[in-house]
Every structure is written in C-alpha cells, then in structure tokens.
C-alpha cells in the first residue's frame, strides 16, 4: 500500500518547524507504524537527507518511549494501543496521514517528533514513591493486601509514562499520569503513611510544570495505551482535598523547567 | 600483561560465604561516604537499584541512561516473573534448591559461590519490592501468589500480570527519583556512554555524548558501575529493545576489562515469528504460556493444512515426546533447538516454514476460556495485535529468537571487573547463569546485584583503594575525550552509500546463521572471514547524514553497530574455541547419539575471559577454572 | 497557609467551581419549581412572588447573597481555569480529533458566557424590570401584587425574548449535562466503574431543568398561559 504523510519537521529545540510531505511506497499491512517510518527514513538517509527523528525503544508497547499524534489522535486510531503496536493494516491504501509531536507547554519539542518529557520524572520525584530504603523491608507476606486493592493498584500502575494523556487532553493536563501514580500507591497499605504528602506535592509539581487543569473531557483515558481510568483522577482530587484540609504545610514546589 | 582472574571467593562453607564476606569487607565511615562520587551507567533493574541504594547509603551518585527517562530501561519489557526461594507454596523449595537448579540450568558453567549468594538474596528482593509498592499478584487471602516458570518443578516465580519487569523497574525508578529529590543522585538522561576513563589502571570516569546537543562531556568519579544490559542486538533481530547495545561494555573491554564467555547467548523459544525483511524487532511471548500451551508441528513434512484440520494422530507434540518429564516446560535452550530441528526437517508452520504451534485448545477445554483469558489475556491481545490472528481460535505460531546474553564483562565475587574500580552489574556482567539462564532469574540477578551486592562491595573497594583526586586536565582523561571526538568525526566524514541498518541487518544474518542456535567449526570460520570484510565495508561505505552537534539518531546507531561488528568477531572466536556443547552453546560436532548437548568438563569447565590486545590483533584467552564442591557435575537430563 | 495553596491549585479551583455550580443547580431546581406554578394560574405565581418579596424578604436576601457570591466565584474560577488550560498548550495541533469528549463538555466555556449574559439580562428583565420589552413595569394584578405573571406572558409574546430564553435554556441543559456529572468527580466522589464516562443522573437533571424552564415560554406560545 501507499500513503501520503505530512510530517512535522523541526531541526531543533525552540527552532521553527513545518509540515513536510512524504510519499511512502509499497508499505506492508503487517508493518507497525514505526516500521513504516523506518522505511521512509531509510529512503531519506539513502538520499543523504536527515531522517525523521522519533523516540522509540522497546517496540512492544511497554517502555513508553514512542508517542506520535496521528491524524489528530494520540497514538493513532487503535484504542489502548501505543504507536509502536499500531499496525498499518488499520490504514487504507492511499490514506493521508498527518504526523505531529505531542504538543504541550510541559513537553517542549526537541526535534521533529521527539519531545522532552522529563517533567514527568520531576512529578514522580516530588512524591511518586514509597520511602522504603533498601534493607529495611518487612517480610513480604507480613502485610496482606486484599486482592481487589492489589488488582486496582496494578491497573493504575500499568501507566507507561508515554504522555499521550497530556497530548490528547484539550487542556494539556497531566492529571491522568499523576493520578495513576497517586492511585497505585494510595491503594496499597504500604503507601498510606505518605499518602497525603504525596498528593499535595505531586499535584503542586504537576502544576509548576505548566500542565493544565482537568475539565473531565475524558480524552486522556481514550488515548491511554494502558486503559488507565479517569476514576483515578477523582481519587487524586479526593486525596488532595483531604490532604489540603488536614495539613498546614504548604506543598513546596521544586523548580520547574 | 596477564590479567588477574582471582574470583576472591570467601572461604568457608557455601552457606556462610556471603555472611562471612559481609563481616570481612572494609567499611567506609558514614561521614566520608558523601565525599565519594560514583558513576552508575544504566538505570535498569541492576543500575537503577545500585544508584538508589548507594545514594541511600550516602554516596554522591551520577546516573546515566540513553533513554529520555530512567524509567524506560529495557528491564521494563520483562514479562514472566522473578524467582525467589520463599517456599510460600510449601512445595519443597529452598535456597539450596534454587541454587542447585540455577547451577544445573546453567549447565555447570557458572560460579557456585555467586549462584548461592543469588539464591540467598532472592528472598530479600521480594520483601524490598513489596515494601516499595510493587503490586505483585495475590491470592484472595491477600498473600502473594506464585507460578511455576521456565523449567522449574516448584512454584517460586512472583509476578505482576504480564508486566513483572515493568513493575519491578518502576519500584526501582521511584526509589531512584526519591534520591534525586533528596539530592543524592544526579540523573543524566539522553546520554550515550562512548568511552571509559582509566587513570593509573583504575576506572575513574566516563565520556558521554549528550544526545540532544551532541556535546561530548567527561564525568569523573572515584569508581564506575556499568549496568548497561545485554548485547542480543548483535543479531539485529532480537527481543531486546532497539536501543540495547554493547558499546559501554565493549569500550570497557578495549580499556582492559576482560570479556567473559561472549558466545553464551540465549535463544528464547517462544517469540512471534518474523513476518518480513522490514521487521525491526521480534516480540517475546512470555514463557509462562508454556504452562498451558502444547507445542506441536505436523508429523508430515510440508503439511500445508490449517492447524484445525490436522487430526491429533498426525500431530507431533515433540517436546512431550522427547522430554516426558518436563515436556512443554523443558529449558529454553532445549526447547529452542528442538523447534529449529523440526523446522529444518521441513515441518515448520506459517509463512517461510519458520514456526511451530503453541496450542491452547486443550487448556481452553480443560479450564474454560475465562480462566485462560485471566492468565494470559494481555499476551493473547498482544499476539493478535501483531499477527491479526486470535489465539483462542487458532494456535499461536512461535519461533526462537535471540533474547539474553549470559556472556559479559568478567567480574569477581565483588562484581568488580579486571579494571579496579569498574564494577559491572546485571546482564552486562557474565553473570551467574553459566551457559544458559533459567526463566525469571535475570530480574533476580539484576536486583540482587544492584540492591544488595554492589552497594556493599563498593565500600570495600573504596576503603582499600582510597582513590586520589583526578582533574579534567589529566592527560589520560584528555586522551580518552580526544579518542571519542576523533571516532565521531571519522564516522561522519565517511559519507558513503549504505545505511547503518543495512550493515546491521547483514551482520545479524551472519550471526544468526553461524553463531546462533547450532554452531559448527566450519560455519564459525566462515563468519570469521566475512565479519572483518563487513566491518571494513562499513568503515568505507556507511552513510550518516547530519552533523554531530544535534540530535542524530543515525550517528548513535552507527556507533553501536560499529561496536557490534567487533564484538561479533569475538563471539565467534569464543564459540570456536569452546569445543563442547553446553547450555545454549550448541556445537553440532559435540552431541550425544540422541542429539543432546555433549559437555566436556575435563577440558572446558572454565570461564573464558578474553583480553583485548589491540585492533587487528588476536585477543588473548584467559581461563578461570570452575570448581564444583556442592553440586556434582552431571549431565543435564530433562527426559 | 494551606488555604492559599489550595486556592492556587487547579484542583482547589475546580472544587470551588463544583461547589458553586452545585449551589446553582440547587437554585435552578427550586426556581424552576416556582416558575411552574404559572400553570396553576396568575394568582398563584404572583402570590408566590409577593411572598418572596414580602414575608420571606430576609430569607430571599440571604439566598441572593449566596447566589451572587457563588456566581462571582464560579465565573472567576471559570476564567482562571480557562486561562491555565490555554497556557498549557501554546501551540495548537494542525489536526485534532476529539474521540469521546461530549459537545456539552466542549461548550462549557462559551455556553457559560451565554449563561452569564442571560442571568444579567434576566434579572434586569423580571426582577428589577429595568429591561422591559413588554412594557409591564410596575403593573399590578387584581390582587394588588406585582404582576409577574402578566410580565412573563407578555414578554414571551415577543419572539426574540422567547428565542433568547429557549436558546439559553438549551445551553443550561448542556452545561448541567456535563457539570452535574463532573462536579461530583471534581469533589472526588466517583464510584469506580467500567464506563467512567457514563452519566445517568446528570442526564436526568439536565433534561428536567431544561424542560422545566422551557415549558413556560412554550406554554405561552401554545396559549396555555394567557
Ligand atoms: C522481552 C524480554 C522479556 C524478559 N523477561 C524476563 C523475565 O520474565 N524474567 C527475567 O528474570 N528476565 C527476563 N528478561 C531478561 C531481563 O529483563 C534482563 O536481563 C534484565 O532486565 C536486564 O537488566 P539490566 O539492568 O542488566 O539492563 P537493562 O534493563 O537493559 O538496562 C540497561 C540500561 O543501561 C543503559 N545503557 C545501555 N547502554 C548505554 C550507553 N551506551 N550509554 C548510556 N546508557 C546505556 C540503558 O539506558 C538502560 O538504562 C527478559 C528480557 C526481554 C528482552
Ligand atoms: C424560562 C425560564 C425562566 C423564567 C420564566 C424565569 C422567571 C423568573 C421570574 C418571573 C423572576 C422574578 C421573580 C420575582 O422577582 O418575583 C425570576 C427571577 C430570577 N431568576 Fe428566573 N426565570 C427563568 C430562568 C432562570 C434561570 C435559568 C436562572 C439561572 C440560571 C434564573 C435566575 C433567576 C434569578 C437569579 C432571579 C432573581 C431572584 C431574585 O433575587 O429575586 N432564572 N425568574
Ligand atoms: C454564570 C455564568 C457561568 C459561567 C461563565 C460558567 C462557566 C463554567 C465553566 C467554564 C465550567 C467548566 C470549568 C472547568 O471544568 O474547566 C463550568 C462548570 C460548571 N458549571 Fe458553570 N458557568 C456558569 C453558570 C453556571 C450555572 C448557572 C450553573 C448551575 C445551574 C453552573 C454549574 C456548573 C457546574 C455544576 C460545573 C461543573 C464544575 C466541575 O466540573 O467541577 N454553571 N461552568
Ligand atoms: S496515563 Fe496512560 S497515556 Fe498517560 S502517560 Fe500513563 S500510559 Fe501514557
Ligand atoms: S482529557 Fe483532560 S480534562 Fe481531564 S479527563 Fe482527561 S485530563
Ligand atoms: S517503543 Fe516502547 S512503548 Fe512504544
């Protein structure tokens, strides 16, 4: 099959960019979307041109490196599917495909389709952990966890940190990502001691990074390759309100980028 | 210069060695810890755990990875699970049994003392990860669940759905970010380690390329830890992430670290078969599938009928037939080779005849579709997403693929390489898996190394070595930096006609053909002729657009492929030298009457540690003899 | 200083949004019920109005103050949140295809502006009677009460007034279809469900409010109220 691609090309950070048209020829429906780009790139390189830069690594939908806005849909048309797991059989022959990077103030574009997502690391560093230093852990079975909680925690913990939620959200909100971690840890007994602190600090950091508010559009959940539910956002708000009411410490915010 | 291969294994009975070592090791006084800066390259389970734990102890840690975030290390892809000798299932497991299984599984080419320590530490790993909030699977009673995995007869594998590696890594990553926030760890993502700085014979730093700006940076420290993963991508197509590479350990090798057993590479039996030339990677289907799936091919060669139409009498469940007691759960090397055999006989299924069936119809009848969905739902989805076939209705097609490298930099009991101050953890070292790794034991090893071993042995090194200060102006530092600049310049000015991946693909074909599942002296010699030619062609004709002062993914890959082109040669040399079949290393000349691996303990019960002696010169083989005082050397039998 | 931190955070603002919004919902439900008395004939509605302004005047003022504060906060928060949302994506996509977001959710902002305009107009119209399209200012009914009923009927005989009200009510319905659902989530109340986007109660509230209000102008057009 053949495709007409309009790809966002941007030579570097805070440089201007533009859409460039490429015609992709004899693409196999068995290819993944990234393999299709590989083919286009090998062509470009063969002609000595700069290939299209995009992040990717595992190509199994688990590392969260990949992420492209495809025809206005984060990670493309298939639900619960990361870009690397999207296959060309879902595109019609001769289709026109607009390819854009994630766009958000918290995700500055580095080159072409590659964006800087380190804001997510800073959100986790603000409190997305359980302080259990190596060595001082109790015997694993000494704290039973109801299966339901363990399963719900796992659902939330499945987040791969790809950023599609931000990309898809009309508000550029990182609520789903942040809430997924707050829910994962908040659902486990091990996560209780730091639960309030975690909510206050992670939310404060999320906002310091310039991500938008949640207006409950629900687009994030739809774009999420791991089906994280917006119910987690309700849980985040719940924890945040409780924490804000209970504590007198103002959540300190580490310098954002 | 002959290198020092003393393993520094503590004395005493195997059960006491580690405890005794803990006591004998020198300590760094808490107040001085913060005066030591340490470099950790790699934020996978091994590197990440090491960086976090060392920072918790009070050291200043600089951590590096090539992804945009430490959370994306390739450990994230591990599906099946992690072993631990908890004996929660009361099925007779014990530290000793895990130790025994691992030594035997490794076909007696690993170090007893290390493996025993690994088994001991395995129980603490589960405690640590649970405390961090890793959502392991649980029973209704709220206690941890287990499953049996990869050729084990006891249920000792802990898992978190099909995403065990992801959850373990996130626990590790969160601990790392906790330390970043505290100021103990400085994180350097999107950095490509291109060389190791050795001053006065000691590892003192690294040279990295900032992959965004292209700037070459030198980072100095009192010691360096490499946790940079495996090199299966030397085969081009493997289950590893696209970025996984050998550059870090290869550079270290060229700076004097011995490379152990490079030819010990594991081919995983259950991967989705290749569908075309364009294919960029092979996807693993977790081994746990073999608990309920039955492996078969048609009895008649060239049988083109669809699976459903082939009656049971005309199916060959070859694993159950050949290995009655282990059947579909026989170890990876055995299962992989068996699959290759039946395909070579022309009985393979699917396009290209390179595949065998993994059939769940019996299990679905026995347990019901729901139960199967509950166990393997996400894996079945993944399979259907890729192949567009529904495993509930038609059997899966699987084929072996390069997956794990037991070989790596040689390390002693303290995980220190032959370069003082250079410690190596996780898949990057030659590890505790001997000639073959059992399922669910790499995560275990990476975390044992990172959380519990290197944080302590590092103290012992620092206390003894008392590293003197080294400045950026030091001639050896400058020289290394210079070498990196020159190499990049050289690559960029070739401006030939062929793409990097075209070379990588060609190398992959060579290695898969001649240094893959079955190796022969003839094949290896052929490869040893062709690889240097390919390398020469690469340096003459590779085409890398763009410059070095920007994000340039072709340049990154070129550097990695250049190193693979050298490593591949060493792998073949090693495979040729090892005139026996052991574990994953199968030499067709050395097999028993019924086609099983024929080990030669008299001559080859050693670790082959290769020493670099200069480009174009033959590497020197050093041998670390392996002694087995606890597990009696025996022929592996899974019949 | 947690209060300040709370107010500064978008979640805090959303909570204020939700609370004030819920107050609004409570009010419109009551108000709607009051209006529907029109169908019971002019004496009933006028008497109701008179009662509000007569004996219940103090109560009315309390309600008014609460409402004014609520609307002011609601609008202020809406403005601030909208600004923040805009700032979070400085450059829009060339292509963006909404997948699941409802029309209601996407019209909260402009619809809200319309509601604001409506409320202002509406109070000038029926309460203070400064805007007096029907020329009914100060008229009394047979019982000597302010002839609210007559004003309503007369006003809805004017096509653009009716049109404006009906359109406004449509947007109110939309506003509540999203708002009645999202406010509970903003406050952190949400039963985990396989379909988090489903919202039955909100749908009912929206339809009831929309219909309940729209019946009056429709009733006038249909000649039921005269
Ligand atoms: C698909 C798959 C499934 C698996 N399933 C299991 C399983 O179920 N159970 C099990 O026990 N094992 C499993 N394994 C094996 C196991 O996952 C790996 O062996 C283990 O995770 C390796 O961890 P590591 O920390 O040593 O290296 P990795 O996790 O690979 O981390 C390497 C790190 O080094 C960094 N790095 C590498 N090169 C450079 C460089 N040049 N410069 C800078 N940084 C660099 C990377 O950025 C990364 O952070 C699986 C492997 C695969 C491929
Ligand atoms: C067709 C729909 C509506 C009709 C016929 C209607 C009718 C009236 C009437 C007759 C009054 C004057 C009552 C009195 O002064 O005795 C009034 C007051 C008021 N209405 Fe409405 N109304 C409608 C819709 C709405 C809506 C949707 C809102 C809010 C969003 C609203 C808010 C108010 C307010 C705030 C007052 C002033 C109450 C006070 O302080 O006295 N109305 N309305
Ligand atoms: C006065 C003019 C009004 C404006 C400008 C306005 C604007 C808005 C906006 C922009 C939102 C979405 C906020 C966000 O999620 O980002 C919103 C939410 C809401 N509005 Fe209004 N609105 C107005 C009047 C009303 C009225 C009269 C009611 C009730 C009858 C109401 C009830 C709600 C509710 C319940 C929400 C949901 C809050 C949440 O999601 O937490 N609003 N409003
Ligand atoms: S919540 Fe979903 S979309 Fe958002 S980062 Fe995590 S996985 Fe990606
Ligand atoms: S799309 Fe955005 S508005 Fe909230 S529900 Fe998702 S974050
Ligand atoms: S490349 Fe890892 S998730 Fe897509």
- Tell me what ipTM this predicted complex has: 0.96
* C-alpha distance from A132 to closest chain B C-alpha (Å): 6
Looking at every residue in chain C, the average pLDDT score rounds to 94
How crowded is residue C104: how many other Cβ atoms within 10 Å of its Cβ?
A: 21
CB atoms within 10 A of CB B76: 28
Residue C202 and residue C182: Cα distance in Å, rounded? Answer: 9
Alpha helices by DSSP H, B330-474: 332-344, 361-367, 369-387, 442-447, 454-465
Ligand 2: which residues within 6 Å by Cβ?
A: C 28, 31, 35, 49, 52, 64, 67, 119, 122-123, 126-127, 148, 152, 165, 172, 213, 216-217
Q: What is the pLDDT of residue A257?
A: 35
**Which pLDDT belongs to residue A44?**
97
Q: B551 near B483, Cβ under 8 Å?
A: no
Contact B226, B422 (CB under 8 A): yes
- Spatial contact of A49 and B545, defined as CB atoms under 8 Å apart: yes
Question: Whole-angstrom distance between the N-terminal and C-terminal Cα of chain A?
Answer: 43
Q: Give the β-pairing of B223-226 and B422-424.
A: parallel
Query: C5 and A201 in contact (C-beta within 8 Å)?
Result: no
Name all chains with 3 or more CB-CB pairs below 8 Å to chain C.
A
DSSP B632: P
Ligand 5 centroid, distance to A219 Cα (angstroms): 6
Which secondary-structure segment (H or E) carries B609? strand B606-611
What ranges in C37-138 are assigned the alpha helix state H? 42-53, 57-88, 103-106, 108-122
Distance from CA of A93 to the nearest CA of C (A): 20
pLDDT given for residue A255 in this prediction? 41
Q: Buried b vs exposed e over A40-60: b needs ≥16 C-beta within 10 Å? A: bbbbbbeeeebbbbbbbbbbb
Interface test with B, best of A57, A150, A153 (most B CBs within 10 A): A57
- The verdict on a CB contact (< 8 Å) between B77 and A65 is no
Q: What is the rounded average pLDDT for all residues in chain B?
A: 95
Backbone angles phi, psi at B138, to 5 degrees: -135, 160
**Distance in angstroms (rounded) separating the CA atoms of residues B11 and A256:** 52
Residue A248's pLDDT is 60
Taking 50 as the pLDDT cut, the residues of chain B under it are: none
CA dihedral in degrees (C169, C173, C175, C176; nearest 10)?
Answer: 130
Nearest residue, CB atoms, B127 vs list A87, A125, A138: A138
d(CA A173, CA B463): 49
Q: B152 or C96: which carries more pLDDT confidence? A: C96
Q: What atom in ligand 1 is closest to the CA of residue B192?
A: 42
Cα B198 to the chain's mean position, in Å? 25
Distance CA B166, CA B446 (A): 14
Q: How confident is the model at residue A254 (pLDDT cuts 50, 70, 90)?
A: very low
Say whether residue A211 is in contact with chain C using an 8 A CB cutoff: yes
- A50's tokens: 């700069």
Instruction: Name the pLDDT band for C129 (thresholds 50, 70, 90).
Output: very high
Would the CB atoms of A211 and C88 count as touching at under 8 Å?
yes
Given the CA of residue C148, which atom of ligand 2 is nearest to it?
Answer: 10
Nearest CB to A28 within list B278, B281, B500: B278
B8 has catalytic annotation? no
Alpha-carbon span B380 to B392, nearest angstrom: 8
Tokens representing residue C182 in the block: 């999202």
The active-site residue out of B332, B337, B347, B636 is B332
The alpha-carbon gap from B238 to the nearest alpha carbon of chain A, in Å, equals 11
Tokens of B70: 């430490």
Residue among C176, C221, C226 nearest C202 (CA) = C176
Candidate from A224, A227, A235, A236 with most ligand 4 atoms within 8 A of CB, to mutate: A224
Kindly indicate the confidence band of residue A256, based on its pLDDT and cuts at 50, 70 and 90: very low
Structure tokens at B128: 């640590």
Ligand number with the minimum distance to the CA of A104:
5
């Amino acid at each position: 099959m053949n495709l007409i691609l309009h790809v966002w090309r941007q030579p570097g950070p805070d440089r201007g960019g533009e859409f460039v048209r490429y015609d992709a020829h004899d693409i196999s429906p068995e290819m993944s979307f990234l393999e299709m780009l590989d083919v286009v790139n090998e062509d470009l390189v063969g002609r000595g041109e700069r290939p299209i830069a995009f992040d990717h690594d595992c190509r199994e939908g688990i590392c969260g490196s990949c992420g492209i806005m495809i025809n206005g849909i984060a990670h493309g048309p298939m639900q619960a599917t990361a870009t690397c797991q999207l296959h060309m059989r879902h595109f019609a022959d001769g289709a026109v495909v607009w390819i854009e990077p994630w766009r958000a103030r918290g995700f500055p574009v580095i080159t072409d389709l590659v964006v800087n997502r380190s804001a997510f690391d800073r959100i986790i560093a603000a409190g997305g952990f359980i302080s259990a230093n190596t060595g001082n852990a109790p015997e694993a079975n000494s704290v039973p966890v109801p299966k339901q909680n363990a399963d719900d925690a796992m659902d939330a913990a499945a987040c791969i940190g790809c950023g599609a939620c931000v990309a898809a959200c009309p508000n550029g909100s990182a609520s789903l990502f942040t809430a997924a971690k707050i829910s994962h840890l908040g659902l486990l007994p091990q996560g209780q001691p730091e639960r309030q602190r975690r909510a206050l600090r992670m939310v404060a950091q999320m906002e310091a990074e310039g991500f938008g508010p949640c207006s409950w559009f629900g687009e994030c959940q739809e774009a999420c390759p791991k089906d994280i539910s917006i119910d987690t956002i309700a849980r985040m708000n719940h924890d945040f309100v409780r924490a804000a009411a209970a504590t007198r410490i103002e959540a300190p915010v580490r310098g954002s980028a | 210069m002959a290198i020092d291969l003393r393993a520094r294994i503590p004395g005493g009975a195997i059960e006491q060695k580690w405890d005794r070592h803990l006591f004998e090791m020198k300590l760094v006084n808490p107040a001085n810890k913060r005066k030591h800066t340490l470099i950790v390259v790699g934020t996978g389970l091994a590197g990440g755990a090491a960086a976090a734990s060392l920072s918790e102890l009070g050291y200043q840690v600089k951590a590096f990875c090539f992804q945009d975030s430490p959370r994306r290390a390739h450990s994230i892809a591990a599906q099946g699970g992690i072993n631990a000798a908890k004996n929660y299932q009361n099925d007779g497991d014990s530290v000793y049994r895990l130790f025994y299984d691992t030594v035997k599984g490794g076909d007696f080419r690993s170090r007893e003392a290390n493996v025993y320590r690994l088994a001991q530490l395995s129980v603490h790993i589960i405690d640590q990860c649970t405390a961090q909030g890793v959502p392991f699977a649980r029973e209704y009673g709220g206690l941890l669940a287990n499953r049996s995995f990869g050729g084990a007869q006891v249920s000792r594998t802990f898992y978190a759905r099909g995403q065990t590696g992801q959850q373990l890594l996130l626990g590790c990553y969160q601990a790392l970010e906790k330390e970043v926030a505290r100021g103990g760890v400085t994180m350097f993502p999107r950095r490509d380690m291109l060389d190791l700085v050795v001053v006065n014979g000691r590892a003192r730093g690294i040279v990295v390329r900032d992959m965004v700006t292209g700037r070459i940076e030198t980072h100095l420290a009192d010691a360096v830890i490499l946790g940079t993963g495996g090199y299966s991508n030397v085969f081009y197509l493997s289950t590893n992430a696209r970025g996984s590479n050998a550059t870090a350990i290869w550079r270290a090798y060229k700076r004097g670290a011995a490379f152990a057993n490079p030819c010990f590479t594991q081919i995983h039996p259950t991967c989705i078969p290749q569908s075309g030339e364009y294919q960029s990677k092979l996807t693993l289907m977790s081994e746990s599938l073999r608990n309920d799936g039955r492996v078969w091919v048609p009895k008649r060669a060239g049988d083109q009928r669809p699976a459903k139409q082939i009656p049971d009498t005309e199916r060959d469940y070859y694993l159950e037939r050949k290995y009655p007691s282990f059947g579909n759960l026989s170890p990876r090397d055995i299962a992989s080779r068996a699959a290759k055999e039946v395909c070579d006989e022309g009985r393979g299924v699917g396009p290209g005849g390179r595949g065998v069936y993994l059939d769940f119809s019996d299990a679905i009848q026995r347990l019901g579709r729901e139960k199967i969905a509950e166990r393997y739902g996400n894996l079945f989805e993944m399979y259907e997403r890729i192949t567009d076939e529904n495993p509930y209705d038609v059997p899966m097609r699987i084929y072996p693929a390069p997956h794990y490298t037991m070989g790596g930099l040689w390390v002693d009991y303290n995980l220190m390489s032959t370069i003082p101050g250079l410690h190596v953890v996780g898949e990057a070292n030659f590890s505790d898996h001997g000639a073959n790794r059992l399922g669910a034991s790499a995560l275990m090893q990476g975390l044992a190394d990172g959380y519990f071993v290197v944080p302590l042995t590092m103290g012992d090194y620092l206390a003894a070595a008392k590293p003197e200060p080294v400045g950026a102006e030091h001639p050896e530092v400058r020289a290394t930096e210079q070498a990196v600049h020159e190499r990049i310049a050289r690559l960029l000015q070739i401006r030939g006609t062929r793409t990097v991946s075209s070379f990588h693909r060609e190398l992959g074909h060579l290695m898969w053909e001649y240094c893959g599942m079955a190796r022969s002296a003839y094949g290896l010699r052929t490869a040893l002729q062709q690889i240097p030619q390919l390398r020469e062609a690469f340096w003459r004709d590779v085409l890398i657009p763009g410059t070095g002062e920007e994000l340039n993914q072709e340049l990154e890959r070129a550097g990695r492929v250049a190193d693979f082109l050298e490593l591949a040669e060493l792998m073949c040399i090693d495979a040729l030298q090892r005139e026996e079949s052991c574990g994953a290393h199968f030499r067709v000349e050395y097999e028993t009457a019924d086609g099983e691996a024929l080990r030669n303990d008299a001559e080859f019960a050693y670790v082959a540690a290769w020493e670099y002696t200069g480009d174009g010169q033959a590497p020197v083989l050093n041998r670390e003899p392996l002694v087995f005082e606890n597990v009696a050397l025996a022929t592996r039998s899974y019949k | 200083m947690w209060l300040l931190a709370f107010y500064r955070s978008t979640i805090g603002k959303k909570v204020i949004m939700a609370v004030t919004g819920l107050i609004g919902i409570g009010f419109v439900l009551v108000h709607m019920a009051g209006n529907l008395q029109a169908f019971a004939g002019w004496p009933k509605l006028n008497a109701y109005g008179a009662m509000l302004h007569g004996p219940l005047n103090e109560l009315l003022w309390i309600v008014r103050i609460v409402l004014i504060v609520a609307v002011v906060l609601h609008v202020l928060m809406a403005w601030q949140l909208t600004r923040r949302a805009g700032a979070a994506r400085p450059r829009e996509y060339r292509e963006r295809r909404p997948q699941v977001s409802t029309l209601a959710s996407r019209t909260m902002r402009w619809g809200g502006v319309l509601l604001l305009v409506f409320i202002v107009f509406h109070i000038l119209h029926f309460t203070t009677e400064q805007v007096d399209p029907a020329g009914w200012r100060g008229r009394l009914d047979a019982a000597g009460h302010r002839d609210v009923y007559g004003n309503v009927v007369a006003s809805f005989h004017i096509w653009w007034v009716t049109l404006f009200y009906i359109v406004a009510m449509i947007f109110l319905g939309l506003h509540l279809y999203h708002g009645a659902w999202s406010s509970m989530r903003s406050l952190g109340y949400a039963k985990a469900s396989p379909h988090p986007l489903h919202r039955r109660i909100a749908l009912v509230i929206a339809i009831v409010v929309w219909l309940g209000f729209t019946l009056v102008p429709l009733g006038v057009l249909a000649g039921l109220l005269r």
